[in-house]
Amino acid sequence: MTNTFTYESSLSSRYASKEMSYLFSDQNKYTTWRKLWVALAEAEQSLGLSITDTQIDSMKKNLHELDLHLVAEYEKKLKHDVMAHLHAFGDVCHEAKGILHLGATSCYITDNTDLIQMKSGLEILHHKILVCIRSLNEFAKKYASLACLSFTHFQPAQPTTVGKRACLWIQDLLMDLHDIEEKMHGLRFLGAKGATGTQASFLSLFSGDHNKVKQLDLILAKKLGFERLMPISGQTYTRKQDVRVVSALSNFAATAHKIASDIRLLSHLKELQESFGENQVGSSAMPYKRNPVKSERICGLARFLISIAENPLYTTATQWLERTLDDSSNRRLCIPEAFLTADSVANLLILVLDGLIVNPMKIHKNLFNELPFMATENIIMLCAKKGADRQQLHEALRKHSIQVLESIDQGGSSSELIDKILSDPLFAITREELSMLMKEEQFVGRAPEQVKEFLHEEVHPILKKFEHLTEYKPLVFV
């Protein structure tokens, strides 16, 4: 039940998925802290330290026995969150109390947990972006040859196809997919580096055995699912890792914003629209409205995420020497909010792309209204081949076009240009010839072929690579 007396982020209560919300929940975060303590004890035991199976079993048995009220009491007294949790964990696994956190510093717990959460968050987003690409792949295939008006500066330009436009969206999403995959596999685990990154405490624990200290790091990274270690650190891992991760999320946000903006523009033209629920209300004042509300929401959330991308840069720039603590409170906000926002955007984008409705009749009408003007160059060429003067043809078409454009402003139609050309003796052209020159496929160039080639060469290999990943239907308030 929602608590109406305290602020609750709409990301977790309204937009983000359950899996992403849980990933950054207190329950998961503090359980991961305990998992890191267990992993440390197991690794130290395997390298010869006097840690018993009974102690490790006690830790595992009480892994999920979280008493956050007790933790709060400890933190009120100690003014230190990690120490508060350490005391609370020690209270329930008495046998292991003396070996908990052996040789470690707080950042072994907090930084490595952040990395574990970010890696899992990237995996969730990678899957969801893939779902978006799958939807658009089918969409682009279906509408590969459906000619439509294209726009530069949101003014009518040479026609393209609906499928080709979708491929522009897919191409950006493929870049985001690759970027997120790269960050996912490239994240470096901090490991156990000690108070200033020198591993001095662990070197002391292992009686000066450098090899065992190195092995400890490798064992921990493997246990927690990381392929690579941070070789050099202060007390924390370099915050440039945060910059790279949040940058990848904001890049995806920019892509989603562009796609949603295109859909909003096309919705205004009535060429494309979101699915609209039977009982959905578009406006409290105007009952007829069918606003592209999900696309609008994508744009709003995406802008927020894009603005977050600047934050980790400041944090990275202001880290002092081996560590400073002004990053802690900032990162508690920035990292979860970035992931929850990216997840919210992805959920909405999945829903929008899965339910896109195309209106071919409106697309044809909008295109046909502009085709007479776009066909003028072809008309000049045909008539010139028949012996007419090219410059005279151009001048005549210029005058006719201006008159028709002025007429359109007063409620006229572009078809008036066709009538003017047919009635002008300078243009030795029949209605049949003019109709042939105005066939839609004459204007789309290689767009249909580009769609087929792009899907086959760029998209299908990616879909094949990840075909084991199932479809995803986000259960969020929309």
Question: What pLDDT is recorded for position 195?
Answer: 93
Inter-residue contact 107 to 233 (CB < 8 Å): no
Q: Tell me the three state secondary structure of residue 283.
A: coil
Write down the CATH number for the domain with range 376-437. 1.10.40
- Give the residue numbers marked as catalytic: 153, 283
Fold of the CATH domain 106-188+237-277+284-358: Fumarase C; Chain A, domain 2 (1.20.200)
Name the residue with tokens 């004459």: 442
Question: What pLDDT is recorded for position 345?
Answer: 97
Distance separating alpha carbons of residues 120 and 396, to the nearest angstrom: 65
Where in the chain is CATH 1.10.275.10? 23-96
Strand residues in 78-222 grouped as ranges (E): 147-152, 155-161, 188-189
Question: What pLDDT is recorded for position 471?
Answer: 64
Question: What pLDDT is recorded for position 472?
Answer: 60
Name the residue with tokens 């896109």: 356
Query: Chain-centre distance of CA 287, in angstroms?
Result: 33
Where in the chain is CATH 1.10.40? 376-437
What CA dihedral angle connects 216, 218, 221 and 223, to 10 degrees?
-70
Q: Can you say whether residue 225 is alpha, beta or left, with left for phi > 0 and alpha for psi between -120 and 50 degrees?
A: left
Question: What pLDDT is recorded for position 427?
Answer: 87
Where in the chain is CATH 1.20.200.10? 106-188+237-277+284-358
Q: Which amino acid is at 326?
A: D
Fold of the CATH domain 23-96: Fumarase C; Chain B, domain 1 (1.10.275)
Inter-residue contact 355 to 274 (CB < 8 Å): yes
Question: What pLDDT is recorded for position 206?
Answer: 96
Question: What pLDDT is recorded for position 282?
Answer: 52
Positions in the chain whose pLDDT score sits under 70 = 1-4, 276-289, 470-478
